[in-house]
Amino acid sequence: MKHQLKQLAGISFAAALALSGCSSDGGSSNNEAPPAEGSLSGSVVAGNVHRATVKIFDICKDGDIIATATTDANGDFTLDVALESGKVYKLTASGGTYTSEATLSTEENGELTGIISVDLNSSHVSITPLTSMAVSRLTALASACTDIDTEKVKEAAGFVADTYGLDDASKLLSVKPDLSDPTNLDAFKYGFTVGVLEELAVVLETEPKELYRALAADIADGKFDGKEHNETILLEADKPLPPTAGVADTVAATFHFIESDSSAIADLDINDTIVKEIAETLVEEVSSAPVSDTSSGFDITNSGAITSVSSKGKQLLFVAGRSNGLMSVDITNPDSNLTKTNLTELNKQLRDYGLYSVGGVIAVPGTQKAVVYSYDSTKVALVDLDNEGNESVIATADINISHQESFSGGNAYISSGLPQPSVNGIWLATADGYKLLDIATMTITKEVPLAKHQIIAENIGGSTKPDINMLFSPNYGPADEYGWASGGGLQVVDLNTYQSYAMEDENKSSPTSFYQTIGKYPSMSMADAGSVDSNYKVGIITPEDARTVALIRLDHITLHDNNESDPIDNTFTIDSNSSVAAVTLSADYSVHISGVYTDSSSHMALFMAGYYSDIAVAKLQDPEDENWTGLSQWNYALDQYDYSYDPHAGAVIKSMTNGKTYGYLLDRSGDIIQIDMQAFLDANATDHHIDPSLNLYDAGILKRITE
């Protein structure tokens, strides 16, 4: 879902675009006169490339050079060529040098490629690292060069443009990137993106020309995963392109670029808000685009005490081990012999700060950093786990929280949270409401009060993908006159408007309970935790140690702003009964479920118990199916681990190495349990109960990770 950029510094982007004089159909950014008939103007930019040799070919006649030119000091060139209507042409720009937008050093250009379709835009052509990606994607989309036409060019270039938030295909192919004038927004955004890619080369410690070649190969199949046709892409001899490069590392490079003292934008006399907002848009688009896989760590849709992050070719698991402190496991190769990383010195630093028992950990996507907290403290710490053996606390904050919230098995100042990558922030679910922690400053920058009669979720769900962008908060609800929680609380927080909404009951008389909509199903019991499948747009609610789970189609809810003067009165309704499903996992009362964790790529969910030792794994059913009932498949097993008390500690993570989905649970012993999700579903079972005689550990379905 594409979002328009927000208003900045009192001037909207639309107004700034009008001021720049840049045409809406994506003409040249420097307002040059149209080229003479029989000639084509263009630019080569990775930084303006001087003395590059530009060649143009018919797309199907790669060996037949139609014309050549050499770029000037501004990266501009003119080709003496008459283009034919209906034709598609490929351009190459090889050699030459340029000043890097990221480091201001001189870099050698390798070979960049561009494309022009006469029927799409022929007034000016840009050759950049992004057009190289578009050419690579175009080649993959077409079974033969004779299949290439304007529509395929638009599709390929549009795919790359959407990935980086550059509006449309014609602008990607024709606008000259330019960081000199922020009011010329098309050119400035494009230049900013190219600068970020230059910074990415710094992050990955490689030459930009090698990075651009590798990224073009990586995006060909529509997914950034470090592979082309299942073959690992090399950056340099014996140095693979990290599967994290196109998404997680690009996000990290974005924030490095705007914080750098030696970049092309470091000394620009512009309002920093413009740069910040462009950076946020780039991060939002890259992290939610089709190129991004759930293994990238940006689709964290539930929070407990286990999380992961992918960065620089590694995939790390962070576990809040309570009295055992923070634990880390390198799960880059999950089928190997996994062990926990010793974080003795880091945990000493956490204890010195006052975090004696680590209850929660939330990864900062795109980095090897995480926010750590304790349930019995208002303090949080930002930790850096980038250098093994030198992990450290790098920043701290004491959050203003008035009291602890009580749950069935404990209480917390901060119960859980979710990252919002686009703003480099973490949403914390606190007893006073939802607070956005800015990672750069370690300050609270947004606060959303609780909806009326609601408390925070013990384990919050949600998704910050643009077409959902909400926190999903099933909770115990308010206490009655006897001090007992109703168990019927459900609220969502709209992260577009920063408003909280509680669910109305069927009679629209009270937002205090969802029993009449969801609790009417047998054994739903009290609401305990939530998770979200962001691709299916389905929220999952688990009970308090019972056997029935509920599912809600989040795109079938309607928000109601009931009282502008008192927004905590806001409510939401579910559009119809067919938008809600419930599944009873066992025919008898043997299985007990409390928490839920989901992967939105495989659509697998892990269910665990709060005060029992049961595990269930399920496959969500596509809600677009005609007879949607919630789950298409599930199995459960009893007495498989030793529970670790409330709030719950679990996660479901897709491996960036083998593409398989794994669940993780914290055992009370301090061990971590890894679950092969598909193998669990495939295990021999009767009425969904896995054969009790099957030892899941011996079968390799469960793995215990120890020291």
* pLDDT tier for residue 518 given thresholds of 50, 70 and 90: low
The CA R_g of the chain, rounded to the nearest whole Å, is 27
* DSSP 8-state symbol, 147: G
Q: Which of 10-24, 521-535, 597-611, 679-693 has the lowest mean pLDDT?
A: 10-24
pLDDT at res. 31: 40
State the residue for tokens 């050698």.
Answer: 108
Return the axis-axis angle of helices 185-203 and 250-259, rounded to nearest 10°: 110
Tokens of 634: 């599930």
Q: With 70 as the cut, is the pLDDT of residue 66 above it?
A: yes
What integer is the mean pLDDT of 320-329?
93
Task: Specify whether 484 is located in the same domain as 591.
Answer: yes
Task: Specify whether 334 is located in the same domain as 276.
Answer: no
User: What confidence tens digit (pLDDT) does each residue in 412-443 have?
Assistant: 999 999 999 888 899 999 999 999 999 999 99
Q: With 50 as the cut, is the pLDDT of residue 218 above it?
A: yes
Q: Choose the final residue of a domain: 232, 262, 288.
A: 288
Distance CA 9, CA 194 (A): 24
Task: Specify whether 390 is located in the same domain as 478.
Answer: yes
* pLDDT tier for residue 396 given thresholds of 50, 70 and 90: very high
User: What confidence tens digit (pLDDT) does each residue in 442-475 have?
Assistant: 999 999 999 888 888 889 999 998 889 999 999 8
Task: Specify whether 144 is located in the same domain as 251.
Answer: yes
Q: With 90 as the cut, is the pLDDT of residue 145 above it?
A: no
Distance CA 121, CA 169 (A): 10
Task: Specify whether 525 is located in the same domain as 542.
Answer: yes
Residue 284 domain boundaries: 13-288
User: What confidence tens digit (pLDDT) does each residue in 234-244 have?
Assistant: 998 889 999 99
Tokens of 274: 């413009």
Task: Specify whether 309 is located in the same domain as 251.
Answer: no
pLDDT at res. 522: 47
Residue 7, in any domain of the structure = no
pTM of the model: 0.85
Distance CA 473, CA 459 (A): 8
Contact between 126 and 97 (Cβ < 8 Å): no
Task: Specify whether 345 is located in the same domain as 275.
Answer: no
CA proximity to 554, closest of 536, 569, 571, 542: 536
The pair phi, psi for residue 447, each rounded to 5°, is -135, 135
Distance CA 485, CA 37 (A): 77
Distance CA 21, CA 31 (A): 8
* pLDDT tier for residue 18 given thresholds of 50, 70 and 90: very low
More confident residue, 374 or 302: 374
Distance CA 272, CA 678 (A): 47
CA proximity to 421, closest of 439, 434, 433, 435: 439
Residue 63, in any domain of the structure = yes
Contact between 168 and 161 (Cβ < 8 Å): yes
Residue 386, in any domain of the structure = yes
pLDDT at res. 144: 86
Q: Choose the final residue of a domain: 231, 264, 288.
A: 288
User: What confidence tens digit (pLDDT) does each residue in 472-501 have?
Assistant: 999 887 655 445 556 668 899 999 999 999
Residue 159, in any domain of the structure = yes
Task: Specify whether 261 is located in the same domain as 324.
Answer: no
Question: Where are the extended beta strands (E) located within 211-323?
Answer: 227-228, 231-232, 234-236, 239-240, 306-311, 314-320
What integer is the mean pLDDT of 5-23?
32
Long-range contacts formed by 398-406: CB under 8 A, 24+ apart = 399/428, 399/430, 399/435, 399/437, 399/444, 400/432, 400/444, 401/430, 401/431, 401/432, 402/431, 402/432, 403/431, 403/432, 404/375, 404/376, 404/431, 405/431, 405/455, 405/456
Distance CA 581, CA 550 (A): 6
Distance CA 424, CA 364 (A): 8
Task: Specify whether 244 is located in the same domain as 298.
Answer: no
Give the chain's mean pLDDT.
87
Number of domains comprising the chain = 2
Q: With 90 as the cut, is the pLDDT of residue 190 above it?
A: yes
Highest mean pLDDT among 136-140, 256-260, 276-280: 136-140
Residue 3, in any domain of the structure = no
Q: With 80 as the cut, is the pLDDT of residue 42 above it?
A: yes
3-state SS class at 266: coil
Task: Specify whether 51 is located in the same domain as 187.
Answer: yes
pLDDT at res. 514: 52
Q: With 80 as the cut, is the pLDDT of residue 123 above it?
A: no
Q: With 50 as the cut, is the pLDDT of residue 5 above it?
A: no
CA proximity to 281, closest of 211, 212, 219, 190: 190
Q: With 50 as the cut, is the pLDDT of residue 583 above it?
A: yes
Q: With 50 as the cut, is the pLDDT of residue 124 above it?
A: yes
Residue 314: give its domain's CATH number: 2.130.10.10
Q: With 70 as the cut, is the pLDDT of residue 511 above it?
A: no
Task: Specify whether 346 is located in the same domain as 228.
Answer: no
Q: How far is CA 439 from CA 324, 374, 420, in A?
A: 25, 18, 10
Q: With 70 as the cut, is the pLDDT of residue 558 above it?
A: yes
Residue 522, in any domain of the structure = yes
Q: With 60 as the cut, is the pLDDT of residue 26 above it?
A: no
* pLDDT tier for residue 525 given thresholds of 50, 70 and 90: low
pLDDT at res. 4: 28
Residue 253, in any domain of the structure = yes
The pair phi, psi for residue 573, each rounded to 5°, is -125, 155
Q: Which of 8-22, 146-160, 283-297, 635-649 has the lowest mean pLDDT?
A: 8-22
Q: How many CB atoms within 10 Å of residue 145? A: 15
| Residues in the chain, overall count | 707
Contact between 408 and 361 (Cβ < 8 Å): no
pLDDT at res. 480: 52
Q: Choose the final residue of a domain: 240, 269, 288.
A: 288
Longest dimension (CA), the chain: 86
The pair phi, psi for residue 676, each rounded to 5°, is -75, 105
Q: With 80 as the cut, is the pLDDT of residue 577 above it?
A: no
Residue 4, in any domain of the structure = no
> Which distant-in-sequence residues (6+ apart) come within 8 Å of 534 by Cβ?
299, 301, 463, 465, 468, 600
Q: With 50 as the cut, is the pLDDT of residue 269 above it?
A: yes
Contact between 265 and 258 (Cβ < 8 Å): yes
Task: Specify whether 82 is located in the same domain as 100.
Answer: yes
Highest mean pLDDT among 92-101, 122-131, 299-308: 92-101
Question: Where are the extended beta strands (E) located within 195-275?
Answer: 227-228, 231-232, 234-236, 239-240
Give the CA-trace dihedral at 691, 692, 697, 699, to 10 degrees: -30
Residues above pLDDT 90, as percent of the chain: 60
pLDDT at res. 27: 38
Residues above pLDDT 70, as percent of the chain: 89
Tokens of 381: 């710490």
